[in-house]
Amino acid sequence: MSHIRGRLNKAVDKLVNKYTASIPFDWRLYQHDIAGSIAHAKMLARQGIIAPKEAESIVSGLKAIKDEIEQGKFQFKPELEDIHLNIEAGLMDKIGEAGGKLHTARSRNDQVALDLRMWAKEAIAETRNKLRGLQRALLDLAEANKEVAMPGYTHLQPAQPVLLAHHLLAYFEMLQRDIDRFGDCLKRTDVMPLGSGALAGVGYNIDREFLAGELGFSEISQNSLDAISDRDFVIEYEAAASLGMMHLSRLAEEIILWSSAEFNFIELDDAYATTSSIMPQKKNPDVAELVRGKTGRLYGHLTAMLTTMKALPLAYNRDMQEDKEGFFDSADTLLATLEVVTGIIKTIRVKKENMKQATQRGYLLATDLADYLVGKGEPFRSAHNIMGKLVSYAVQRGKALNELSLAEYKQFSPLFGEDAKSITTETSIAARDNTGGTAPKQVNKALARARKIVSGGS
């Protein structure tokens, strides 16, 4: 703390002030800081630690400051270092000596822990909402394209035909885990630290449950040393956000691939594409590329905060001031990314015919033909070998499987009959008829389940 100089006899060096000041980023906590201070002042009065008049004066002073901030009239001073001291100094300017009583039974250590938890709770709620919004967009797109078939890929090679809706629902599942994960993170964030003081608790008869109630917390912290040195909730958010962003990077990669001239499965809306400063023909999926690129950013913030917290002795150390910028940026980036990806999904044009044609490439039905042989009594492992040879034969002749004659099939196994030729993309898809499979029946069930999830709660 540079402003309050306590026992120190010299002003802080200017460079030092700049180096240590957090006001350039922690001003974002002003609402939470003020709400926390109002609750604290009320509590102090209820407990007889300050006079009711003093509390009233503090509360109205703080409300006035909030208005000033929101109207852009409040003057933040870097030499006052952080949001807490800026507001406290503003309060003393406004209401005089009573303002000096607000910091009774409180330290910046528990104050900042409170503010950041309040901010985190809101960020979690908003993140879960936007995850839900993207789920909705994916579900809408899936429902609108229920019948569309496409190649399923493994190793980016055509593997087996699937429904596009099934593919989209895979992302629905990922996002559902994200929603649940942020929900779990919330449990450990929703703990009220005020009353922990600098590190040891406070020497006043305070009422922590009242504070928790006023501020909408479910629990109060159980150990003051831990409460002021715990930033698990920041790291846990950043880890969940990294996972979520990883999911979005996979979707972005597919949007980029599918928009390529070679795949040509989708077309982005012009409002979600950009062109080039030099190449007039370009329609680039920049937004999806940035989604993919910004994944590094979130991983970086996670790495940063884990590194910062490593091996810090108890309790508060100034290193922990590094908790905010990366956290804010992780949340900002994830939220903005969810919004733009939702926008892309809502406006994407699916080129059904191209997807369908692509299912003709790559011998997608080979597994079904192996299964066909299994149905005729061949063990799967040898059926697989037979089909391997059959595909190799077709590749060498540059033919698709359905361009081979039954006689050619029979060269590889006498078990092949006419009905082998009736295996199609449609029968292949329909055959995968167990929970989680791509058969239309299963996909319809999954769509209904997903609709229920997005309509009700998580």
Supply the minimum distance, in Å, between the C-beta of residue 116 and a copy of itself. 15
Supply the minimum distance, in Å, between the C-beta of residue 80 and a copy of itself. 12
Supply the minimum distance, in Å, between the C-beta of residue 72 and a copy of itself. 19
Supply the minimum distance, in Å, between the C-beta of residue 356 and a copy of itself. 14
Among 128, 101, 58, 96, smallest CA distance to 335 is for: 128
Characterise 206 by phi-psi region: left (phi > 0), alpha (psi -120 to 50), beta (else): beta
Residue type at 318 in one-letter notation: R
Supply the minimum distance, in Å, between the C-beta of residue 69 and a copy of itself. 21
State the CB neighbour count (10 A cutoff) for residue 296.
Answer: 11
Q: Is residue 393 within 8 Å of 412, Cβ to Cβ?
A: yes
Q: Which is nearer to a copy of itself, 15 or 407 (CB)?
A: 15
State the CB neighbour count (10 A cutoff) for residue 128.
Answer: 20
HSE, CB side, 13 Å, CA atoms: give it for residue 228. 23
Supply the minimum distance, in Å, between the C-beta of residue 126 and a copy of itself. 15
Spatial separation of the C-alpha atoms in residues 305 and 324, rounded to whole Å: 9
Q: Which is nearer to a copy of itself, 71 or 311 (CB)?
A: 311
Spatial separation of the C-alpha atoms in residues 51 and 44, rounded to whole Å: 8
Quote the Cα angle for 226-228-234, to 5°.
90
Supply the minimum distance, in Å, between the C-beta of residue 306 and a copy of itself. 5
- Is 276 known to be catalytic? yes
Q: Which is nearer to a copy of itself, 266 or 364 (CB)?
A: 364
DSSP 175-191: HHHHHHHHHHHHHHH-E
Q: Which is nearer to a copy of itself, 64 or 198 (CB)?
A: 198
Helix (H) or strand (E) holding 151: strand 149-154
Q: Is 200 helix (H, G, I), strand (E, B) or coil?
A: coil
Q: Which is nearer to a copy of itself, 37 or 67 (CB)?
A: 37
Q: Is residue 153 within 8 Å of 361, Cβ to Cβ?
A: no
Helix (H) or strand (E) holding 163: strand 157-163
- Catalytic residue chosen out of the listed positions 60, 260, 276, 458: 276
Positive/negative CA dihedral, 13, 14, 18, 22: positive
Supply the minimum distance, in Å, between the C-beta of residue 184 and a copy of itself. 4
Q: Which is nearer to a copy of itself, 30 or 327 (CB)?
A: 327
Q: Is residue 196 within 8 Å of 110, Cβ to Cβ?
A: yes
- Catalytic residue chosen out of the listed positions 155, 277, 405, 422: 155
Spatial separation of the C-alpha atoms in residues 274 and 170, rounded to whole Å: 28
- Is 242 known to be catalytic? no
Q: Which is nearer to a copy of itself, 71 or 210 (CB)?
A: 210
Spatial separation of the C-alpha atoms in residues 166 and 436, rounded to whole Å: 9
- The residues facing 191 across adjacent strands are 219
Q: Which is nearer to a copy of itself, 67 or 184 (CB)?
A: 184
Per the structure block, which two tokens stand in for 127?
Answer: 């993140």
C-alpha to C-alpha distances, 371 to 375, 384, 427, 456, nearest whole angstrom: 6, 9, 12, 40
Spatial separation of the C-alpha atoms in residues 238 and 254, rounded to whole Å: 24
- Active site positions, annotated: 155, 276
